[in-house]
Every structure is written in C-alpha cells, then in structure tokens.
Amino acid sequence: MKPPRDRAIMSPHDFRKTGVKIAYGFMVIGVCLISLSMLYPFVNTFLNSLKSTEEFFAFPPPFFPSRWLWQNYKDSLDYLDIFLYFKNTLYIYAGNALVSLTFMGLAAYSLAHLKVPAKKWISLYFMSTLMIPAASYLIPNFLNLKDLGLLNTFWAFWLPAGANAFYLLILINFFEGIHKEMLESARIDGASEFRCVLSIAVPLSVPIIVTLLLLGFSTVWNDFYWSSLVLKTEKLPIGAAIYTMIIYPGSTINWNVRFAILTMTLVPPAVLFLFFQKYIIGGLSLGAVKG
C-alpha cells in the first residue's frame, strides 16, 4: 500500500479547469524567464572566457565561441596568482568565523539564558548598531587599527568580526528557542554554564551555525573595499585582488583572459551555495525574529 501523498496547493481536480491551466502556464513561463535572466550573466562570462580576442570584440558578438580556447585559463595564471589570494581568503574567513561565532555565540547565550543585568538595554544597544550605515564607522575603525599597528594584518578583519551585531541578533533568537528545562536539568547534574553551551546549545545550533558560516564566506569572498584599505597587495582576498589587478581601469590584460579569471572565482561560491542553500533558508527561518 502506497503512503498517501501530501496535499499540494492545487489538486488534480483543480487542473481540470481551463483558467487554472492558463494561470499555471503563465507562472511556469515567468519562473523560466526569471531563471534565464539570472543564469545569463554566468553563462555569458564562461563563454566569453573561451573566445579569442577577435571574437570578443566582433560586432555583432557571437554568443558561442567558434573555438573553445581553454588556453585562456592557463594564461590567466600568469597575471594573477589565484591560489595565493584564495589562501588569503581562507585565512581571513577562518579567523572571522572563529572570532565571530565564539564571542557572539557566548554573548548570545548569556543574553538569552543567563541573568545579565540590564539585559534588554544591552541587547537594544547592540541591535541599534544595525541601523548605523557601515560607511559612517569605516574611518574610525581604520584609525583605531592604525593606532594599534594592525594594518596589513589579518587582525584588521578578525577583530571587527568579534562585534557582529547581525550574528548576535540571529543567535539570540535561536538560543531563546532552546527549552530552559534542558539547561536546568544539566545544571542540576552539575554541568557548568560553559558545559551547557558546548554540550547542549552548540549541538542544537548546528543549522544556524552552518548558515552563518556560509554567509560569512560570501562576505569575505566578495569584499574588496575594506580589504583594499587595510591590506597590501600580497595579503588581499580574492575579490579585492581581482578588482585591483584585473578590473581596475588601466589594466592591459586581454578581456577574454579577464573573463577566465572571473569564471574561476565564480565557481567556488556558486557550488557552495548550490549545495548548501537549504541550510541557509532553514537556518535563517529558525533564527528569525519571533513575534
């Protein structure tokens, strides 16, 4: 006996109606057009990376290259040490993830489950910083790091990551959903608060932690403005390196080679988010603000 299927929004009986078929057809066409419009930049970047210089500047430009020049990818390595900048990106990301999740996680747990004096005012203080434009505290952050002698070091990324109010907001709302009875039982058995965090809060928080890790990766991968201010060329992450050395006006690199570099940098985040998108959607839903 087959298990009953879940009831969909529209049943087979609904599809017998002509109006429903027409409306559903327009919906499918709309979704397909939106998908094509979103995929076109990625496909066009990839195909341009395989064209010759003549084909790239031809008018009207051909959509598909006449010959697939994979040599462009090999030539791109002569202009950009992509492995060096990829390693820099991973270093920055690993430090950001460790510092932000450690400090924001402990702070969120304290504000959610411990008797902290003026808890609401502290939470309000951190949440209010989300309303301040990032550009307004860019220069103060730069001057503070300069006075500390941390320019051109990865600490210029790691220290600000320890005060991420967005992470704090998400984690507080998630931790508040953990039943207090579980924590009380652990305390009765002699567990310390730190043990409660490691043994109960962290295992239950895997979905939201994975979500924040993926969002943090996207932020570091795409960053170029802050990193171009605080780091020199040899320590730049991949996004800033490409902008500074490949995209910036005055670069003499052939455009087909530039697109080869851009294609290589598109692949890791695209693959990552393709396979982990369910964690992002699920994690943000779990950590959403509750009414």
Query: Which domains does the chain possess?
Result: 76-286 (1.10.3720.10)
Average pLDDT for 35-41 = 88
Residue 24's pLDDT is what? 82
Please answer whether residues 244 and 233 qualify as being in contact, where contact means their C-beta atoms are separated by less than 8 angstroms: yes
137 pLDDT higher than 60: yes
Q: What gap in Å lies between CA 168 and CA 184, rounded to an integer?
A: 23
Among 87-101, 129-143, 153-167, the range scoring the smallest mean pLDDT is 129-143
Predicted confidence (pLDDT) at residue 194 exceeds the cutoff of 50: yes
Among 15-19, 86-90, 174-178, 266-270, which is the least confidently predicted range?
A: 15-19
Least confident of 177-191, 212-226, 240-254, 262-276: 240-254
User: In the chain, what is the straight-line distance between the N-terminal and C-terminal CA atoms, in Å?
Assistant: 42
Task: Give the mean model confidence (pLDDT) for residues 32-59.
Answer: 87
Q: Is cis: bond before 60, omega within 30 of 0?
A: yes
Q: How confident is the model at residue 291 (pLDDT cuts 50, 70, 90)?
A: very low
Tell me the CA distances in angstroms from 178 to 120, 250, 281, one per residue in order. Answer: 19, 55, 19
Report the pLDDT value the prediction gives residue 175, as an integer from 0 to 100: 87
Give the pLDDT band (50/70/90) at residue 4. low
Mean pLDDT within 31-39: 90
pLDDT over threshold 50, residue 207: yes
How far is the C-alpha of 14 from the C-alpha of 20, rounded, in Å?
A: 7
Is the pTM higher than 0.85? The answer reads no
**How many other C-beta atoms are found inside a 10 Å radius of the C-beta of residue 241?**
27
**Residue 10: pLDDT band by 50, 70, 90 thresholds?**
low
Task: Say yes or no to pLDDT of 92 above 90.
Answer: yes
Residues 6+ away with beta carbon under 8 Å from 240: 223, 224, 225, 227, 228, 231
Residue 149 has pLDDT above 50, yes or no: yes
The pairs formed by 210-214 with CB atoms below 8 angstroms and a separation of 24 or more are 210/276, 210/279, 210/283, 211/170, 211/279, 211/280, 211/282, 211/283, 211/284, 211/287, 212/100, 212/101, 212/167, 212/170, 212/171, 212/283, 213/97, 213/101, 214/272, 214/273, 214/276, 214/279, 214/280
Output the pLDDT for position 289: 46
- Answer yes or no: is pLDDT of 284 > 60: no
